[in-house]
Amino acid sequence: MIRTTAALAALVTVAFGGSAASAAPTGSASPTASAVGSPAGASSRAALVLTPGFTRRVVATGLGDPYEIVWGPDAQLWVTEKSGLKVTRVNSTTGTKSTAVSIPQAHHSPGGQDGVLGLALHPQLLKGTGNDFVYVSYNYLTTTPAPVTGERRRLRIVRFTYNGQTHQLHSPKTLITGLPGGTDHQSARLRFGPDGKLYYTIGDQGANQLASYCRPNWAQRLPTAAEVSAKNWAAYQGKTLRLNLDGSIPADNPLLKGVRSHVWTYGHRNAQGLTFGSGGLLYQAEQGPKTDDEVNRLSRAGNYGWPNVAGFRDDKAYTYNNWSASRPTPCRDLTYSDLGTPTSVPRQKESQFTAAFVSPLRTFGTVNTGFDFTNPKCAPGGLYFICWPTIAPSSLTHYSANPKPGIPGWANSLLMTTLKDGSVYRMNLSADGKSIVSTTKMWTDRIRYRDIALSPDSRSIYVATDNAGLVRDPNGAPTRTLKNPGSIVVFRWQP
């Protein structure tokens, strides 16, 4: 029988990463807040940091774990409700909510990362071209357990048609089904690309940690030709997918070990951020384990290293401890811990992974070997993961300042929400978009920020918040007392 501690069982659905940002170049673009360039472990602890020039207003409350928010062509905010199992339209001025579609066949586990998740609107929605389509991903239950893992949860991506008169979504058409699904590391960011394709992130399903510590991590495993032919998508864990609008495999997707599949990039842990920037560049924010949250620029067929590498291949603090391969003591006879590894569990340094690997643009929470992960502020209840030096990125949005001028100094930057340190970050990109030149922490509060949508004039930033979970309080200790849970908050630049 698999043995876990009581604390482990309680934490399985809320382990997201940690605390302060690692050192990075800083700038002074206006308007600004505290620049991020301090050593890992340092962090601003103010109850609220409201950047000068902005107002703050709660737009809507009472949402069931809003996961993805998109500004629609009808001047409404479109929202997926993870635990509410529906898609909701929210009036950005009054906060009035209306249900576009309920999805009762979707499944959410209390406290889990499953439910109604990704959302993308067709660029021609409500433009009279016959493309009034809305794309949604959601988890569901099946009676057939997955091989190896025994998991009964799966995920599908569905296309709905929107009726602009009744404001309802109808006629669901399944584009792809049977994708990996579970309660942990779903990732689930759905984006419509400038090339007319759908892009989707799937996490590693929490393999090799917590309650799933005996599951092998398949983020490096690529699908075989037989699996693709059988529509067996088990190897899509820890991947970014690229799909045709009918769910089929694009003919120009990469050949990986001689097999063409939906896989665009691989080697990911939990990529909850995905956004297109200038010139079609694709960026991703990914949650690290105890260290090394990442911001990546995705390249076709790129291997991003997980679980062999977290962040840069620098041998700092992280080693790949493969619990599923424990010998001679089998994994099922071990008690999992993030703070100690039995000698029977193979350990591998990052430098021992010699395959081609794409380094991140930057990391958050990178620390040196020997860092003490047992901060006493998080000792009660064994909540050490809240004090770990990662920040748990939860979304990523490119800010183009189009139409101009937008917010001064913000053109060509990335906005990133986080969960554990309750902040929104802004990262200035280089002119070519291939590097990050400065990082600024914009807003900090007792809020688990989940996703961002921008107004058409580029001056309002709408942020969705989690209903529950853990965040650090102003003293750096874990708290479940959240501000504005299950809400949409707008930060408005007032020139």
Concatenating the DSSP letter of every residue in 329-396 gives S-GGGSB--SS---TTS-EEEGGG--S--PPPSEEES---TT-----GGGTGGG-HHHHSS---EEEE
Residue 30 is predicted with a pLDDT of 38
Residue 22 is predicted with a pLDDT of 36
Each residue of 354-376: pLDDT tens digit?
Answer: 999 999 999 999 999 999 999 99
Residue 3 is predicted with a pLDDT of 43
Residue 278 is predicted with a pLDDT of 94
CB of 162 within 8 A of CB of 126? yes
64 inside domain: yes
pLDDT band at 43 (very low <50, low <70, confident <90, very high): very low
Q: Average pLDDT, stretch 420-437?
A: 96
Q: Average pLDDT, stretch 92-113?
A: 97
| CA–CA–CA angle 357, 113, 147 (5° rounding) | 70
Residue 8 is predicted with a pLDDT of 40
Per-position b or e across 321-356, b if 16+ CB within 10 A of its CB: bbbbebeeeebeebebebeebeeebeeeebeebeee
Structure tokens at 183: 């309660």
133 inside domain: yes
- Give the strands of the sheet with 239-243, arranged side by side: 187-192, 198-202, 239-243, 263-266
Q: What is the DSSP letter of 10?
A: H
Residues with Cβ within 8 Å of 476's Cβ and at least 6 positions away in sequence, in order, are: 19, 43, 45, 375, 377, 387
CB of 459 within 8 A of CB of 38? no
Query: Which range has the worst mean pLDDT, 18-22, 290-294, 425-429?
Result: 18-22
> Following CA atoms 215, 177, 469, 7 in sequence, which dihedral angle do they give, to the nearest 10 degrees?
-20
Each residue of 125-152: pLDDT tens digit?
Answer: 999 999 999 999 999 999 888 877 788 9
293 inside domain: yes
Residue 14 is predicted with a pLDDT of 40
Q: What span, in angstroms and rounded, lies between the C-alpha atoms of 27 and 36?
A: 9
CB of 262 within 8 A of CB of 253? yes
pLDDT band at 49 (very low <50, low <70, confident <90, very high): low
User: What are the residue numbers of the active site?
Assistant: 185
Taking the whole predicted model, whether its pTM rises above 0.85 is answered as yes
Q: In degrees rounded to 5, what are phi and psi of residue 348?
A: -135, 130
Dihedral sign, Cα of residue 405, residue 407, residue 409, residue 413: negative
1 inside domain: no
Residue 162 is predicted with a pLDDT of 98
Residues with Cβ within 8 Å of 376's Cβ and at least 6 positions away in sequence, in order, are: none
CB of 16 within 8 A of CB of 453? no
pLDDT > 80? residue 124: yes
Q: Average pLDDT, stretch 348-352?
A: 98
Residue 21 is predicted with a pLDDT of 36
483 inside domain: yes
Structure tokens at 72: 């629609």
324 inside domain: yes
pLDDT > 90? residue 200: yes
What domain count does the chain have? 1
User: Residue 59: CA atoms inside 13 Å, Cβ hemisphere, count?
Assistant: 26
Residue 12 is predicted with a pLDDT of 37
What domain range is 409 assigned to? 6-493
Q: Average pLDDT, stretch 196-222?
A: 97
CATH number of 319's domain: 2.120.10.30
pLDDT > 80? residue 46: no
